[in-house]
């Protein structure tokens, strides 16, 4: 079975404006990965017609992804080209053509997660009925695992399972989301062996055996333990707090977040020692410790997170290396401080630090 995809884009817009990854990942999660993806100009009707005709003879399933504003126009063009009616069609223009063994899906490129939901809720069930096969999936999420270790583990898993399982590793800012897709005929013993291989190989970096992001796992655990959390941030600029409050129901466990960017704010709001800042500087083990300890000392939270570091693009007057950061997790009994040196752009360093901070808090809370 071959599944292909055509993406129609406005050539006047940059490639970054294309937003079909959610749609492609949703097909993959459902057990129908694309073996070929073509990106064409939305103005080139002749090229589009040739691509559809060619892929129609090669593929059993073809997804056409276009901008929402042009879905109706593209759909009408396809109806004349394929000479088959829509099996299903929405008011916005998205829909499914069905003709014999060939299926064509018309989808929005700017639907984001809603486009993925349409694939999961409509397109994948359509394909399950078409083939009489249902695909299942396992997900392993891990933070901070070595990239080469992940590659080796996936290679070992593929040798173990052959072509009976499909693997997809999405790595973003040190956060690995490993997805394993398989049909219902695969023996449970095989999937259990693959899951054991990955979890044992990844060790303590594993934080979820489902597709739950780290901020949600942290909020869930805080609720389970009946704990409150506060956050003090410097170079992450409120990013840790933003991720926590993005979780529905976070108000039950989140007390406060302080963006103490300036040294005076660290002194005034958190009780960081002026001596500490003058002698070892704001980017230091001691400052991170005192930031986290200051939140705990307030008596308003049971666990705290503190971040301080240099995201770049250049160092400051201290001439410390860009990417150096200290992340602290405070508990009522003890404060733990972690030193890291992350690489990449300013945004990459910041986002990686945010991920690590959430993960470290989750791990410490889990070990209580």
Predicted TM-score (pTM) of the model is 0.84
Tens-binned pLDDT, residue by residue, of the chain (368 aa) = 799 999 998 776 655 556 678 889 899 989 999 999 999 998 899 999 999 999 988 999 999 998 888 888 898 888 888 877 777 777 667 889 887 889 999 998 776 667 788 899 999 999 999 999 889 999 999 999 999 999 999 999 999 999 999 999 999 999 999 999 999 889 999 999 999 999 999 999 999 999 999 999 999 999 999 999 999 999 999 999 999 999 999 999 999 999 999 999 999 999 999 999 999 999 999 999 999 999 999 999 999 999 999 998 877 777 899 999 999 999 999 999 999 999 999 999 999 999 999 999 999 999 98
Helices (H), the chain: 21-29, 45-58, 71-78, 113-118, 124-131, 147-161, 188-202, 214-225, 239-245, 263-270, 274-279, 285-297, 346-366
User: Nearest-CA neighbor of 51 among 81, 14, 87?
Assistant: 81
Spatial separation of the C-alpha atoms in residues 300 and 336, rounded to whole Å: 19
221 and 328 belong to one structural domain: yes
98: CB partners within 8 A, 6+ apart: 84, 87
45 and 140 belong to one structural domain: no
pLDDT tens for each residue of 314-336: 777 778 999 999 999 999 999 99
Q: Which two tokens stand for residue 233?
A: 């941030």
Range of the structural domain that residue 100 is part of: 3-131
Which of 178, 208, 238 is a domain's end point? 208
220 and 179 belong to one structural domain: no
140 and 88 belong to one structural domain: no
pLDDT tens for each residue of 301-313: 999 999 999 998 8
Number of domains in the chain: 3
Spatial separation of the C-alpha atoms in residues 93 and 96, rounded to whole Å: 10
> Contact 178/154 with Cβ under 8 angstroms?
yes
């Amino acid at each position: 079975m071959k599944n292909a995809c055509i993406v129609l884009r406005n050539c006047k817009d940059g490639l970054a404006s294309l937003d079909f990854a959610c749609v492609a990942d949703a097909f993959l999660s459902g057990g129908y990965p694309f073996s070929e993806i073509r990106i064409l100009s939305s103005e080139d009707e002749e090229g589009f017609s040739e691509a559809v005709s060619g892929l129609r003879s090669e593929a059993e399933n073809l997804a056409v992804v276009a901008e929402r504003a042009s879905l109706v126009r593209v759909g009408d063009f396809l109806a004349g080209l394929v000479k088959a009616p829509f099996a299903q069609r929405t008011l916005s223009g998205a829909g499914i053509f069905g003709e014999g063994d060939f299926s064509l899906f018309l989808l929005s490129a700017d639907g984001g997660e809603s486009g993925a939901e349409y694939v999961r809720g409509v397109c994948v069930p359509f394909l399950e009925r078409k083939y009489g096969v249902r695909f299942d999936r396992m997900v392993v999420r891990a933070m901070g695992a070595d990239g080469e270790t992940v590659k080796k583990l996936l290679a070992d898993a593929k040798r173990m399972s052959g072509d009976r399982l499909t693997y997809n590793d999405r790595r973003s800012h040190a956060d690995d989301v490993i997805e394993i897709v398989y049909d219902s005929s695969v023996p449970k013993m095989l999937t259990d062996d693959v899951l054991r291989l990955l979890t044992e190989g990844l060790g303590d970096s594993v934080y979820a055996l489902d597709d739950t992001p780290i901020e949600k796992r942290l909020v869930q655990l805080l609720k389970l333990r009946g704990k409150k959390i506060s956050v003090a941030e410097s170079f992450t600029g409120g990013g840790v707090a933003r991720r926590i409050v993005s979780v529905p129901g976070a108000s039950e466990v989140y007390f406060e977040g302080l963006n103490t960017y300036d040294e005076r704010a660290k002194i005034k709001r958190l009780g960081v020692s002026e001596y500490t800042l003058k002698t070892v500087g704001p980017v230091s083990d001691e400052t991170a410790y005192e930031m986290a300890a200051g939140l705990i000392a307030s008596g308003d939270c049971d666990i705290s997170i503190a971040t301080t570091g240099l995201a770049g693009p250049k160092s400051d007057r201290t001439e410390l290396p860009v990417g150096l950061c200290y992340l602290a997790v405070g508990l009522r009994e003890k404060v733990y401080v972690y030193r890291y040196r992350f690489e990449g752009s300013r945004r990459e360093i910041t986002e990686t630090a945010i991920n690590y901070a959430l993960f470290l808090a989750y791990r410490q809370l889990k070990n209580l």
